[in-house]
């Protein structure tokens, strides 16, 4: 999700990070989960019922009746209801096919949908929910019977086993990364030194801990079955899922302990090492940033969304530079912390990409001016403001005139900083007088105020307008390229919080591995878990294939192009053969979309970039990732529960 933009000292987000403020997006995630997990639950439910009816296991009730232990009436009812709702959804699917672009659309949780589309989404989610209740019900019921004493015993056994088999010695190999610092091997700028250290050691820890976790977890239950040691466990009053859960927790606690030790050791070395002052300035901090919403504006183009300069990476949009240009990159801040009003000044940090159409002057950067407005700014007072600001342009807080600037910002709700030289590779900051925020904090912003927005959204209290002054140069901006610095936290604490990202990945790796091992042999479990996990790093690419967004079509179409020697961008003639292979490719894409749901989004949990770039990892961010992690891991655990339950241990 977040990835390091090596040329810029800011976070780069391939997709919007989750936060509690965007509750609509969270709601959609919930609906998506119900649909996806519900689909799998329906398949599982059907297979389980089929198995339970073909190979029933009967309990004899005191009244002489028999009861099928595997398939209860609740499960049958849930399956029937879910199936009925799925059939309704199928009908709605046909009806939505009749929708055309002119069909009225109303925003549903922020996304414009027709009535039929909304009904379809909700029906699929409802069907999924019923299937999840039917399939997950026995799991939840049996979970209530779990005894922590037994789970602890199995977890402790797993831990002890790994320690006594000297697996922990493998973890010492991480020392190699610390003994041979990254700067010995990589030519880097002084300010990037800490980033490299953090990046290299974290990658090392990733590989080491995840591979050990995968291996241990994949071989645990199969080895127990092979050595028959499991016979002495399942013949005790142990629920089978307790074995799975105990193994999972045992190995997780082992790698967690290793992670804590490694993280502490890494931190010790960073603190004890001679990190350059430039690197400390860049990364040895934990910035708490306040981001705004980005939009672009130009007088010439009404729906201006920034210029695409043709770079392969379309993450940033550009504005052209000229003293007379009307193009602006605008950040709207709907809110800000009250502490801003009490500070001497609030740092506004930014780092833009520069796209040059001429070489420019050596040692001279690109000039950018900033204009900050509050919702109480009165445009009719512009001349008055300009007169008042005479001789006060670009005053720094240490200057005696700063008080005047602060007062003017508070009085008018406007602040201007002109011609700041920006350079590639460096995060810059300008001071913003706190008076501006005191002004902005008053009253309630309205859509009719001076800070009108191009895109729908809450009326901003503060608006930051960036303008490129240097002719024939462009600056590229993305939402996270500019922010107010709320505070700076403790780097060491942030370093530990960053380790959560790796811990999330470890949970995923061990959960998949243990779940696979309930059915597959050790080697197969390891390979399956490893492929799924590695697949997580290519999820964006797989997503592209699954949506058919890649150039050249699906596998059969690509093969046809190879045979015909046709280029990928040329449309193929709609011959019967081409139509047939496209139908197969459609099925392939459908299949890939299902597979995609099984692949973990491991990239989402990479928090190291936050630490390396010197940004604080917020507790809400960790909490949200924890929720998505639970949502991913839970279906695996349910699958493991059923696989273990259905397994003949001694067969």
Partner 1 sequence: MADTAVAERTLPTHSGVGEVIVETRNLTKVYKDFWGRKKKVALNALDLQIKRGEIFGLLGPNGSGKTTTIKLLLGLLFPTNGEATVFGLPAADVRKNERIGYLPEESYLYRFLNAEETLDFYGRLFDMPAEVRKQRAAELIRLVGLEPDRRRTLREYSKGMRQRIGLAQALINDPDFIILDEPTSGLDPLGTIWMKGLIRQLRKQGKTVLMCSHRLDDVQDVCDRIAILDNGDLQELGEVERLVEDQARVEVRATNLRLTDALRTDLEAVIGKHGGKLESFGHPTTTLEELFKKVVEESKARPGRRYLPPADGNGAPRS
Binding residues for partner 1, per CB under 8 A?
Answer: 55, 57-60, 69, 147, 149-150, 152-153, 156-157, 160-161, 164-165, 227-229, 231-240, 648-651
- Three-class secondary structure of residue 199 per DSSP: helix
- Residue with smaller CB distance to partner 1, 54 or 549: 54
**Which among 251, 323, 275 is positioned nearest to 517, based on CA atoms?**
251
Element (H, E) at 646: helix 619-646
- Residue with smaller CB distance to partner 1, 153 or 572: 153
Minimal distance in Å, beta carbon 107 to partner 1?
52
Minimal distance in Å, beta carbon 228 to partner 1?
4
- Three-class secondary structure of residue 41 per DSSP: helix
212 C-beta neighbours (distance < 10 Å), count: 22
- Residue with smaller CB distance to partner 1, 237 or 576: 237
Minimal distance in Å, beta carbon 98 to partner 1?
45
| Both tokens assigned to 72 | 């209860």
| Both tokens assigned to 419 | 């011609």
Element (H, E) at 385: helix 382-388
Minimal distance in Å, beta carbon 254 to partner 1?
14
Whole-angstrom Cα distance, residue 389 to residue 526?
Answer: 68
Name residues whose C-beta falls within 8 Å of residue 588's C-beta, 6 or more positions apart in sequence: 554, 555, 556
Minimal distance in Å, beta carbon 64 to partner 1?
14
- Residue with smaller CB distance to partner 1, 4 or 152: 152
**Which among 255, 327, 142 is positioned nearest to 505, based on CA atoms?**
255
630 C-beta neighbours (distance < 10 Å), count: 11
Minimal distance in Å, beta carbon 227 to partner 1?
6
- Residue with smaller CB distance to partner 1, 240 or 297: 240
328-333 β-sheet, strand order: 293-297, 328-333, 462-468, 366-374, 414-422
- Contact predicate 336/460, CB 8 Å: no
CA dihedral 79, 83, 86, 87 (to 10 degrees): -170
| DSSP assignment string, 115-168 | HHHHHHHHHHHHHHHHHHHHHHHHHHHHHHT--HHHHHHHHHHHHHHHHHTTTH
Pairing of strands 328-333, 462-468: antiparallel
| H helix runs in 7-63, sequence order | 23-54
- Residue with smaller CB distance to partner 1, 52 or 536: 52
**Which among 502, 504, 509, 477 is positioned nearest to 609, based on CA atoms?**
502
Minimal distance in Å, beta carbon 209 to partner 1?
22
Minimal distance in Å, beta carbon 223 to partner 1?
11
**Which among 519, 522, 501, 541 is positioned nearest to 642, based on CA atoms?**
519
| Both tokens assigned to 356 | 């040059």
Element (H, E) at 318: strand 317-320
Element (H, E) at 331: strand 328-333
Pairing of strands 366-374, 353-356: unpaired
Minimal distance in Å, beta carbon 517 to partner 1?
17
**Which among 54, 151, 144, 36 is positioned nearest to 594, based on CA atoms?**
36
- Residue with smaller CB distance to partner 1, 161 or 603: 161
Minimal distance in Å, beta carbon 110 to partner 1?
49
Minimal distance in Å, beta carbon 239 to partner 1?
6
Minimal distance in Å, beta carbon 48 to partner 1?
15
- Residue with smaller CB distance to partner 1, 234 or 532: 234
- Residue with smaller CB distance to partner 1, 229 or 580: 229
**Which among 350, 357, 314 is positioned nearest to 329, based on CA atoms?**
350
| Both tokens assigned to 264 | 């502490």
**Which among 347, 316, 563, 312 is positioned nearest to 436, based on CA atoms?**
347
- Residue with smaller CB distance to partner 1, 247 or 467: 247
- Residue with smaller CB distance to partner 1, 58 or 423: 58
| Both tokens assigned to 368 | 């950018």
Planar angle of CA 132, 96, 539, nearest 5 degrees: 55
Element (H, E) at 319: strand 317-320
- Residue with smaller CB distance to partner 1, 235 or 567: 235
Minimal distance in Å, beta carbon 147 to partner 1?
6
- Residue with smaller CB distance to partner 1, 179 or 650: 650
Minimal distance in Å, beta carbon 42 to partner 1?
24
- Residue with smaller CB distance to partner 1, 37 or 49: 49
């Amino acid at each position: 999700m977040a990835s390091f933009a090596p040329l810029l000292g800011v976070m780069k987000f391939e997709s919007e990070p989750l936060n509690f403020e965007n509750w609509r997006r969270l709601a959609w995630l919930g609906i998506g989960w119900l649909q996806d997990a519900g689909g799998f639950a329906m398949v599982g439910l059907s297979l389980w019922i089929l198995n339970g009816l073909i190979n029933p296991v009967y309990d004899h009730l005191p009244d002489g009746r028999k009861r099928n232990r595997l398939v209860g009436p609740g499960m049958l009812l849930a399956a029937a209801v879910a199936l009925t709702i799925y059939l309704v959804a199928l009908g709605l699917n046909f009806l939505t096919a009749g929708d055309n672009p002119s069909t009225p659309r109303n925003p549903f949780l922020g996304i414009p949908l027709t009535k039929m589309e909304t009904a379809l989404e909700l029906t699929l989610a409802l069907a999924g929910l019923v299937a999840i209740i039917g399939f997950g019900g026995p799991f939840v019921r049996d979970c209530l019977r779990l005894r922590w004493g037994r789970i602890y015993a199995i977890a402790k056994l797993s831990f002890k086993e790994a320690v006594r088999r000297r697996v922990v010695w493998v973890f010492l190999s991480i020392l190699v990364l610390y003994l041979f610092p990254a700067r010995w091997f990589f030519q880097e700028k002084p300010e990037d030194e800490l980033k490299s250290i953090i990046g290299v050691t974290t990658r090392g820890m990733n590989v080491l801990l995840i591979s050990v976790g995968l291996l241990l977890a994949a071989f645990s239950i199969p080895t127990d079955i092979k050595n028959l040691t499991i016979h002495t466990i399942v013949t005790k009053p142990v629920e089978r899922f307790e074995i799975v859960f105990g193994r999972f927790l045992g190995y997780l606690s082992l790698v967690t302990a290793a992670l804590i030790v490694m993280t502490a050791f890494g931190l010790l070395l960073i603190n004890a090492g001679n990190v350059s002052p430039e690197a400390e300035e860049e990364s040895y901090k934990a910035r708490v940033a306040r981001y705004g919403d980005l939009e672009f504006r130009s007088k010439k183009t009404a729906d201006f969304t920034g210029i695409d300069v043709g770079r392969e990476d379309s993450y940033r949009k550009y504005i052209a530079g000229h003293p007379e240009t009307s193009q602006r990159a605008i950040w709207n801040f709907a809110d800000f912390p009250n502490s801003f009003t009490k500070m001497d000044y609030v740092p506004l940090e930014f780092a833009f990409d520069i796209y040059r159409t001429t070489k420019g002057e050596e040692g001279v950067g690109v000039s950018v001016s900033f204009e900050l407005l509050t919702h109480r700014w009165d445009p009719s007072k512009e001349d008055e403001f300009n007169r008042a600001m005479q001789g006060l342009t670009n005053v720094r807080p240490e200057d005696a005139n700063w008080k005047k600037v602060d007062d003017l910002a508070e009085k008018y709700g406007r602040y201007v900083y002109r011609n700041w030289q920006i350079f590639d590779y460096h995060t810059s900051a300008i001071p913003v007088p706190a008076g501006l925020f005191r002004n902005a904090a008053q009253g309630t912003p309205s859509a009719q105020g001076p800070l009108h927005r191009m895109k729908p959204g809450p009326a901003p209290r503060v608006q930051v307008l960036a303008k490129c002054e240097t002719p024939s140069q462009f600056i590229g901006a993305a939402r996270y390229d500019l922010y107010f610095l709320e505070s700076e936290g403790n780097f060491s604490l942030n370093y530990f919080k960053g380790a959560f990202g790796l811990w999330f990945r470890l949970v995923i790796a061990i959960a998949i591995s243990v779940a696979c091992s309930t059915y597959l042999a050790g080697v197969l479990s390891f390979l399956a878990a490893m492929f799924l996990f590695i697949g997580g790093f290519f999820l964006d690419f797989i997503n592209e294939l699954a949506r058919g967004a890649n150039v050249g079509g699906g596998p059969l179409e690509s093969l046809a192009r190879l045979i015909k020697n046709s280029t990928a961008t040329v449309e193929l003639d709609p011959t019967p053969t081409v139509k047939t292979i496209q139908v197969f490719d459609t099925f392939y894409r459908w299949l890939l979309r299902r597979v995609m749901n099984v692949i973990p989004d491991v990239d989402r949990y990479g928090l190291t970039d936050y630490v390396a770039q010197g940004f604080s990892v917020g507790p809400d961010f960790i909490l949200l990732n924890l929720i998505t992690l639970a949502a991913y891991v839970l279906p695996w655990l349910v699958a493991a529960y059923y696989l273990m339950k259905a397994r003949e241990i001694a067969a």
